[in-house]
Amino acid sequence: MLVVRRRVGETIVIGDSIEVTIIEISPTRVKLGVMAPREVSVTRQETLAVAADNRRAAGFLGSGKVDGVLRMLGRAEA
């Protein structure tokens, strides 16, 4: 992994067309600005995991398992 030290307002360039600028630094977070071509997807890593979960969630009704889950939930209320 390449490690680069940067200050607020400074930028790194990836390839010919992607720029990542340090916008703000707090004790626990860094705010980044990313400029990239429209065809380049820029996504937080955890959002990718949630997108995969959402696709699985959308398949739940087709899985035939809703009744089983309802039975389990019913046990909690019993």
Partner 1 sequence: MTSTFCDERRVIRSPWLGDVEWDPKCELFFPHGLPGFEDERRMIPVEIPAQRPLVYLQSLEQPQVCFVCMPVLVIDPVFRLSLSDEERATLAIAGSAAPVPGRDVLCLGLLVPSGDTVEVNLAAPIVISLMNSCCLQTVAGSASCFRLAPDGRWVAQC
Q: Which residues bind partner 1 (CB under 8 A)?
A: 44, 46-63, 65-66, 68-70, 72-78
Q: Which is nearer to partner 1, 13 or 57 (CB)?
A: 57
Q: Which is nearer to partner 1, 10 or 63 (CB)?
A: 63
For residue 58, give the 3-state DSSP assignment. helix
State how far the Cα of 13 lies from the Cα of 20, in Å rounded to an integer: 6
Q: How far is the CB of 52 from partner 1 (least distance, A)?
A: 7
Report angle CA 72, 77, 78 to the nearest 5 degrees: 90
Q: How far is the CB of 16 from partner 1 (least distance, A)?
A: 27
Q: Which is nearer to partner 1, 10 or 33 (CB)?
A: 33
